[in-house]
Chains A and B, each alone.
Chain A
């Protein structure tokens, strides 16, 4: 992530400049990861592509976090038929294959840096909602909540002032998992050509281009695929680390 953020400083070439090298040139000192069919520097495109992929992933995660947390909190606080309705809606949404749902949405609204995070975020919201609802239900059953309500504190005030901060660590774990899922979904959409539009590239679009030339230029697909894999692994490891930290804190309490 840090490397992609520094792309304007590190990048040796303009990522969209055609003809900085010969088409399909292999890795060299001037083009560290070779060039694409238009002679553009792959290293520069990978760096800038990473910025787009990670921006979309983080923006989508924020969208999912806002929608999912509200969704889960309303269900957990209200309970009854509202809870049933909201959670069955989440189940139904999760039953539809993500990529199919995304494909339909993107076909309808078009692919852009604005639409992609919203679509991916909406896709990730149900899992966040499910997790938020469970955490809220557990928290509302705590002694301090029961005591606060008995002493006349409004439930809505309590939810935002006490419950939300207390479930934040669990949401943080979900957040890291969502970033990894968003990277994957964005890459999948771009891989089928419905992601970021040319001349800009994301890791998914670079993989799509590289896959079509697998026999000639294997490195074309290798570097973006590695970048996606490492990023997903990193976010998953980060989520796992937070979960372990939380578990150890709970058990020590």
Chain B
């Protein structure tokens, strides 16, 4: 045996073992580090397509702030701030708005974002054939002009709230529309890595983004079979964030120290019950008032929505805690739970029965509310039968506005930003599914939207709210929180009043 050779072999062996150990350690640590910068978002929904201008489902809005940039953007406090536009101004009559673009902004493919790019998007969104849900907010635009680094909007009627009407008109490359789902050039902090419609989406940072660089290296959006499966995935750590947490799961999840509930600072969603105001019995104000008094809002909120929301005794689309709520000081009356009053009003109107037209399966909260209302009405001799239907059958009964549906009460959700122009716009003539065509309300709404001065605008909103409060075009029992849940180590996520979570500043601790 050659000892010296053995010694050399030992050194060689030691070196090989050391290299092996280092390699093993590096590869072991590598994926762990990568995992800490990858956020996995789970939902029972998936993205059917990527074009933000023609989005159909609220879930698609989650991508707006990740892949795209608009001229303005929502901030966590419910106000709008600059984004692609660094500043804006209106003329005295608020029917001409000028937005000044920031310099150096580029799409993810490196092409510059110019005022022409912005004009192209608005022109595309305004086309009759473009099925944009945002159209009602921008339909007053008569002309878009691109001039240097400025974009000028001419409006058919004054709009003091125009900057908050356009955060969702995000800037895309209109030339890519035909092939949008392949690999669109994005204007936001992330870009698409892979996309499988209705299954999954993976996005990675956009190196050409003009704003703050994301801390995450990847966000994956995956689909869960159902909410219970999604909650299980969240608990096990398979997903980091669960979109749209069932309210029944919120209370037990909130007690789990490894998890957190994600909710808006200023929630602005509401539950509303609609009825046809052009046919009996709800064409009678007394019946609508009776229904308002027979509604045990507090119990419904506690039982059906597990207390996640605020009772709306004024029955307005503006949430009770909103800065725009006029309250008793603004001349609004309250509708407390008062079965005696309800009974008297129903008797005066000669109404003894009507029906609830709900949704089967997917909305247990609606069914719980209906059963509480049913029990209250039974106490005063009113019969309300509950008919839960497949969602398509439910919607076909009352949507779009203009349909007649006598004797039915339909539950629905109002999901708007905390700006009365949007939530109260729901009651305008021709838009309200309850067929409330009220010229005085339309005029008050128009006046408020066109008033630049904040004090004067609030006074105008109060005028509209008083009509809403007195005429009861719908029953709004309470405003609600839209909840999401996340692992406790997920930070930097915030939620819009309407419920859309923002992941652009997210990181994992």
Contacts and interface: CB of A to CB of B under 8 A. Distances in A.
B393 A107 contact: yes
Given A38-B303, A38-B372, A103 B246 contact: no
A192 B248 contact: no
Interface in B325-363: 359-362
A136 interface: no
Nearest to B392: A107
Interface string A173-196: 000000000000000000011100
Contact of A194 (B248, B304, B386, B390): B390
Give the size range of A's interface with the partner. Answer: 20 to 34
Contact of A192 (B303, B360, B393): B360
A93 interface: no
A132 to B, nearest CB: 33
Contacts of B246: 212
B142 interface: no
Contacts of B261: none
B370 interface: yes
Given A37-B368, A208-B361, A198 B388 contact: yes
Nearest to A200: B386
B364 A194 contact: no
B228 interface: yes
A214 B248 CA distance: 9
Contacts of A198: 367, 370-371, 374, 386, 388
Contacts of A192: 360-361
B123 interface: no
A216 B248 contact: yes
B236 to A, nearest CB: 13
A213 B372 CA distance: 19
Nearest to B387: A197
Contacts of A212: 227-228, 246, 248, 364
A67 interface: no
Central interface residue in B303, B360, B393, by most chain A CB within 10 Å:
B360
Given A194-B360, A213-B248, A216-B251, A107 B231 contact: no
Given A38-B372, A193-B362, A209-B364, A215 B231 contact: yes
A197 B388 contact: yes
A189 to B, nearest CB: 9
Contact of A107 (B251, B253, B304, B390): B390
Interface string B373-405: 011000000000111111011000000000000
Contacts of B368: 37-38
Interface string A59-100: 000000000000000000000000000000000000000000
Interface in A210-225: 211-216
Nearest to B361: A193
A197 B249 contact: no
A199 B304 CA distance: 15
Contacts of A213: 248
The A interface is mostly helix, strand or loop, or mixed, namely: loop
A227 interface: no
A216 B371 contact: no
A18 interface: yes
B252 interface: yes
Nearest to A191: B361
Nearest to A104: B390
Contacts of B228: 211-212, 214-215
A100 to B, nearest CB: 12
Contacts of A110: 387, 389
Contacts of B251: 216
Interface string B238-257: 00000000101101110000
A26 interface: no
Contacts of A193: 359-362, 367, 388
A27 interface: no
Interface in B55-96: none
Contacts of B390: 103, 107, 194
B371 A18 contact: yes
Interface string B260-276: 00000000000000000
A211 B393 CA distance: 24
Nearest to A199: B371
Contacts of B393: 107
B10 to A, nearest CB: 58
A146 to B, nearest CB: 53
Contacts of A211: 228
Contact of A199 (B227, B386, B387, B392): B386
A21 interface: no
Interface string A4-34: 0000000000000010000100000000000
The 3 closest A-B pairs by CB, nearest first: A193-B360, A193-B361, A213-B248
20 contacts: A18-B375, A37-B304, A37-B368, A38-B303, A38-B368, A38-B375, A103-B390, A110-B387, A192-B361, A193-B359, A193-B388, A194-B389, A197-B388, A198-B367, A198-B374, A198-B388, A212-B364, A214-B228, A215-B228, A215-B231
Given A107-B390, A194-B390, A215-B249, 9 more contacts: A37-B368, A38-B371, A38-B372, A208-B364, A211-B228, A212-B227, A212-B228, A215-B231, A216-B252
